[in-house]
């Protein structure tokens, strides 16, 4: 039941990204969609990846909102605007890509599982993707986090020079 609820939320808010008429609303719809995706990862016991997706999306949308408020002509991105350009071309490309991906899913001869599932799927996935570079990627992740936090601090009205 929770999976279907999160799946519907992810798809509905993903559609809302292109249906709403302001950049700020699209940002929050994207955040809702990706938090629902992170929730599905939590449901399948990929706790590390689920929490990572949720935290990354919250920080990413925060930074996006800060830059939107700082640099956009309309205040806070709430003035109406269209989020889709070339609707007909975008629809044709979207339907074509969806059809190709669906054909690939149903047309592939998927291999059968060999052996039992690993005891820690998140660690196995991390090692499969990054191999021996996992420590480097974790350090880079901390550097990116420090960059995002300093960007938010510098974006305040008083800047880095406060009384």
d(CA 140, CA 134) in angstroms, rounded, equals: 10
CA angle (90, 6, 69) in 5-degree steps:
60
pLDDT of residue 74: 65
Other beta carbons within 10 Å of 123: 12
Q: Are 17 and 30 in contact (CB under 8 A)?
A: yes
Q: Give the number of C-alpha atoms closer than 13 A to the C-alpha of residue 18, restricted to the C-beta side.
A: 11
pTM of the model: 0.56
What's the chain's length in residues? Answer: 163
State mean pLDDT over 32-52. 89
d(CA 82, CA 20) in angstroms, rounded, equals: 8
CA angle (56, 62, 68) in 5-degree steps:
135
Q: For the segment 3-23, what is each residue's pLDDT rounded down to a tens digit?
A: 999 999 999 999 998 888 777
Q: Mean pLDDT across the chain, nearest whole number? A: 84
Q: For the segment 74-132, what is each residue's pLDDT rounded down to a tens digit?
A: 665 667 776 667 889 988 999 999 999 999 999 999 898 888 988 888 788 878 887 87
Q: Are 38 and 51 in contact (CB under 8 A)?
A: yes
Other beta carbons within 10 Å of 33: 20
For the chain, give the percent of residues with pLDDT over 90. 31
Tokens representing residue 56 in the block: 């990354």
């Amino acid at each position: 039941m929770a999976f279907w609820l999160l799946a519907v939320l992810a798809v509905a808010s993903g559609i809302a990204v292109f249906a709403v008429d302001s950049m700020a609303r699209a940002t929050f719809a994207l955040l809702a969609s990706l938090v629902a995706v992170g929730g599905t990862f939590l449901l399948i016991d990929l706790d590390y990846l689920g929490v990572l997706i949720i935290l990354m999306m919250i920080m990413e949308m925060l930074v996006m909102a800060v830059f939107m408020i700082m640099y956009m002509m309309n205040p806070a991105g709430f003035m109406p605007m269209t989020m889709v350009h070339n609707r007909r071309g975008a629809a044709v490309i979207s339907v074509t890509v969806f059809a190709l991906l669906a054909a690939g899913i149903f047309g592939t001869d998927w291999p059968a599982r060999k052996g039992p599932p690993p005891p820690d799927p998140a660690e196995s996935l991390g090692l499969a993707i990054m191999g021996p570079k996992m420590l480097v990627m974790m350090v880079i992740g901390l550097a990116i986090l420090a960059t995002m936090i300093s960007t938010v601090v510098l974006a305040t009205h008083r800047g880095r020079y406060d009384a």
